[in-house]
Amino acid sequence: MPVLVTGGSGFIGSNLVEELLERGREVKVLDNFSTGRRENLAHLTGHIELIEGDLRSYERVHNAVRGCEVVFHQGALPSVPRSVQDPISTNDVNVIGTLNVLLAARDAGVRRVVFASSSSIYGDLPGLPRVETLPVGPAAPYAVSKLAAEQYCQVATKVYGLETVALRYFNVFGRRQDPLSHYSAVIPKFITALQDGRAPVIFGTGEQSRDFTHITNVVNANFLAADAPDAAGHVFNVGNGESHSLNELASVLARIIGVDIEPEYAPPRTGDVAMSWADISKARDLMGYEPDIGFEDGLALTIESYSPQPVA
């Protein structure tokens, strides 16, 4: 039976689609390309069934879900700054869109839905590392939307018997993460600035920290979540289980790239979280999750993926 990846043209989705094909799975992709990129799937033309459509349309979602065994729900409107500027669109796509996926999966007899949640739901409440049993304190509309969608997943399991697993991603990075978007994450922005000889811009003091997690680890977590018998109905942190400051990140990237450029500092942004660090004990115990790619190795791989290829 095929599997469906929503948001399959995005950074995480396209990496997941590629690995699913490598593992011999039949793959369908649902995407409206509002934030994803067609070129992320161009090399897979003829190997996937591409369905263009919006998560906000139940009919479109149901048509895509029909006949699938598992749904990897990666589709969303990402970015904290975007959600602050346009909370209504963020809510519609991330909450209503997720509810459509869950109801369509229920109606189509899907075995399990794996949902891409976010560490942002923890906010800035005390308690590090973040454990799934901690209270949550969303600090931006994006985080609220992910928490609401996550709770819909749990309700779908309790009320409808649909197996769901929510993965709280911690600052994912790696190849195909768009460095040019206004809402791009910090690592691609830092890499491209340093490669261009420019100073990376840090909002705030730079002492805020993140659990930076390479895309390989996130893709592996999705595979484990799809099949682990004890995972259904649960929420899991997916990270490296460690934390690094933005100042440290800028320093390490400059060293790997081979430049001596100090960052510039700007006022902090609304909705940004100060500290983030995943406790991955639950994912390790119930899913067998273990990060394969560490912080510096992941940065080196990402830098290589952004570097111009030599001309033959």
Distance CA 312, CA 310 (A): 6
Cβ-contact 222, 287 below 8 angstroms: no
CB 119 within 8 A of CB 309: no
Beta strands in the chain (DSSP E): 3-6, 27-31, 48-52, 70-73, 112-118, 163-169, 172-173, 201-203, 209-210, 213-214, 235-238, 244-245, 264-266
- Rounded to 5 degrees, what are φ and ψ at 116? -85, 100
Task: Collect all residues with Cβ–Cβ distance below 8 Å to 34 and sequence separation of at least 6.
Answer: 77
Using alpha carbons, list the distances in angstroms from residue 274 to 140, 159, 269. 13, 36, 11
- 3-class DSSP assignment, residue 12: helix
Residue type, 212: F
* Phi, psi (degrees; rounded to nearest 5) at 182: -60, -25
User: CB atoms < 10 A from the CB of 164, how many?
Assistant: 29
Catalytic residues: 142
Judge if the upstream peptide bond of residue 268 is cis by omega within 30 degrees of 0.
no
Grouping H, G, I as helix, E, B as strand and the rest as coil, residue 172 is strand
| Spatial CB neighbours of 10, under 8 Å, sequence gap ≥ 6 | 31, 35, 36, 37, 40, 74, 75, 78
